[in-house]
Amino acid sequence: MAPPLLLLQDIRLTFGGRPLIENATLSVSAGERLCFVGRNGSGKSTLLKIAAGTVEADSGTRFVQPGATLRYLPQEPDLSAYATVRAYVEAGLGPGDDPYRATMLMEALGLTGNEAPDQLSGGEARRAALARAIAPEPDVLLLDEPTNHLDLPAIEWLEETLKSMRSALVLISHDRRFLERLSKATLWLDRGTTRRLEQGFTAFEEWRDNVLHEEEKERERLDRKISQELDWVRYGVTARRKRNMGRLRKLEGLRQERRDQRRAVGSVKLLASEGDVSGKSVIEAIDVSKSYGERAIVRDFSTRILRGDRIGLVGANGAGKTTLLNLLTGVLAPDSGIIKLGTNLQMVTLDQRRESLDANLRLADALTEGRGDNVMVNGQPRHVIGYMKDFLFTPEQARAPITALSGGERGRLMLARALARPSNLLVLDEPTNDLDLETLDLLEELLDDYEGTILLVSHDRDFLDRVATSVIVAEGDGRWTDYAGGYTDMLAQRGAAAPTRTVAKTERKDDKKPAADKAPASRGKLSFKQKHALETLPAKIEALTAEIAKLEATLARPNLFASDRKAFDTANTRLAAAQHERDAAEEEWLTLEMLREELAG
């Protein structure tokens, strides 16, 4: 096995009382694809920061192979020290790195590089941080929630880009499809310790359930032993007591072992408060259109949504998903056409930006709206502490301000508030943001049991497949099409890739109207990426040819196999890879040169 490029051993870190991380290990070798999973608040992001060197552990060791390069994508990138996005991205390049790659990545992510950091939206800041982390093609790439704030086309672009890189990857993400497609091994952080599975995320959940089941069986065996020892203490012969102090000590040891066991964190208990039954027809749109200036957001769109439908809205950022959602729910009036809302509708909206949360409000007050200590759920009062526990909040957090909550905890709080209100129409705008995988599972089950109607905006492909009965897709130029089934069904019906990517920027802080699309790339000339590849591929082919010759000379040395088997295997493996890379580079150059000649002719 190759030596690790990055190694964490016996990491321990305590915040306040109980240790957050007690005995964590992380090993990353060249080319590995590792997904890093665990509950919200388990310490995943903190351990990744320790790996990146931005946080120091209380104890344990961190080792980075001398000469190895490492880049880290934080959840909340800070660009404040830079005048432009380009300056921020290029500051991540090392000596010898290609600045054209930084330009290419910014262009692919819809950035010019001239943007001022203080004017960026959250999505634009995330795109800039991705370009900075990926541009150097480091030996180890640590990514904390890389798909947050990205639309579906950008997520699929990122998948393909990461697949093509040689970098070792460590990924934290709530996007199942993203993890399934990229990971080859899984690291699970659970109750402060790490467990590793040498398979990708696809195999993780079954493995995790088996581990927890075995733990529960072991706990039951321990409980039986304690019960047996207690029976002996209570009913055993008194005269033997002095001779059996060892057995008493054994009992106390068993009790201590039981106390020290940390149970798996409980599951969120999700239950929606359902209102009265709505009419059969919930929403009907007839030839609806909406524009901002000269840009059409929705053009001549018609649909009919019936009670019990679960409708997913899909499209690139800036395509107008939120605008269409507001039109369908009557929040926004169309420029033309008719919106008919059904009878007896009780609508509850989950706000993706958490804007309805007063940051200075206490957690309990956010749930009770300041009206005593009870929350009304399904028409019945529940004490706020008990309701909080259903969503994995501790009683100590009841008086804590919302500013003290993590992103995942805010997501659970928004769910708790929304699900306590009676409804027969749930409007969910990016409900999966910051939720851990276990909470997502339970949310999917709740939505499956919900008898009302659901309107859903999401970039999570797996979530759409599991929840939606049909999806409405932005086709460009204000056109929207309704497809039966989930996201995968939509792709099959379209017979094409994901919705065409617009390079429209996400909304800026001072501009809440959708940004205009960039003009499409002109036909009849090579793209920037193609021109750059045409210029750089000959040098790459020459370098690979020289490396192949050197490796062949090494393998031709007499007695190398017998004297140094490891060096022989390493050279032989690299020779095969270098030959494959040269063949691919030559084929790519030939294809691009033929295209250039064709366009020039």
- Domain range list for the chain: 6-206, 281-494, 528-600
Q: pLDDT above 70 covers what percent of the chain?
A: 82
pLDDT of residue 231: 63
Sheet strand arrangement including 295-306: 295-306, 281-292, 336-341
pLDDT of residue 17: 63
Is the pLDDT confidence value at 509 over 70? no
Is 45 labelled as part of a ligand binding site?
A: yes
Is 317 labelled as part of a ligand binding site?
A: yes
pTM reported for the whole predicted model: 0.66
Is 316 labelled as part of a ligand binding site?
A: yes
Is 29 labelled as part of a ligand binding site?
A: no
| H/E stretch holding 600 | helix 565-600
Does 281-494 match 528-600 in CATH topology?
no
Residues 6+ apart with CB under 8 A from 50: 8, 11, 13, 56, 57, 62
Query: pLDDT by residue (tens digit) across 478-499?
Result: 999 998 888 888 888 876 555 5
Question: Can you read off the two tokens belonging to residue 544?
Answer: 């690979």
Q: Please tell me what DSSP assigns to residue 452.
A: S
Mapping DSSP onto H, E and C, the string for 29-86 reads: CCCCEEEEECCCCCCHHHHHHHHHCCCCCCEEEEEECCCCCEEEECCCCCCCCCCCHH
Query: pLDDT by residue (tens digit) across 341-365?
Result: 988 888 888 765 555 567 778 888 8
Is 148 labelled as part of a ligand binding site?
A: no
Residue 495, CB half-sphere, CA atoms under 13 Å: how many? 0
pLDDT mean over 145-173:
91
pLDDT of residue 437: 79
Strands 336-341, 140-144: parallel, antiparallel or unpaired by DSSP?
unpaired
Query: pLDDT by residue (tens digit) across 78-125?
Result: 999 999 999 999 999 988 888 899 999 999 998 999 999 988 877 789
CA nearest to 466, candidates 262, 223, 176, 216:
176
Q: Give residue 247's pLDDT band: very low, low, confident or very high (50, 70, 90).
A: low
Is 39 labelled as part of a ligand binding site?
A: yes
Q: Give residue 194's pLDDT band: very low, low, confident or very high (50, 70, 90).
A: very high
Q: Give residue 387's pLDDT band: very low, low, confident or very high (50, 70, 90).
A: confident
Is 38 labelled as part of a ligand binding site?
A: yes
Q: Specify the fold of 6-206.
A: Rossmann fold (3.40.50)
Is 386 labelled as part of a ligand binding site?
A: no
Is the pLDDT confidence value at 525 over 50? yes
Of the listed ranges 61-65, 410-414, 465-469, the least confidently predicted one is: 410-414
Pairwise pLDDT comparison (326 vs 394), residue with the higher score: 326
Q: How many angstroms separate the Cα of 137 from the Cα of each of 52, 100, 107, 161, 576?
A: 16, 13, 17, 11, 21
Cα separation, 515 vs 293, in Å, equals: 11
Is 183 labelled as part of a ligand binding site?
A: no
pLDDT mean over 571-575:
83
CATH numeric code, 281-494: 3.40.50.300
Is 269 labelled as part of a ligand binding site?
A: no
Is 407 labelled as part of a ligand binding site?
A: no
Which class does domain 528-600 fall in?
mainly alpha
Is the pLDDT confidence value at 268 over 70? no
Is the pLDDT confidence value at 379 over 80? no
Is 378 labelled as part of a ligand binding site?
A: no
Q: How many angstroms separate the Cα of 214 from the Cα of each of 42, 219, 248, 308?
A: 21, 9, 27, 39
pLDDT of residue 502: 43
Q: How many angstroms separate the Cα of 428 from the Cα of each of 170, 276, 319, 431?
A: 30, 19, 17, 6
Of the listed ranges 498-507, 508-517, 586-595, the least confidently predicted one is: 508-517
Backbone angles phi, psi at 305, to 5 degrees: -110, 125
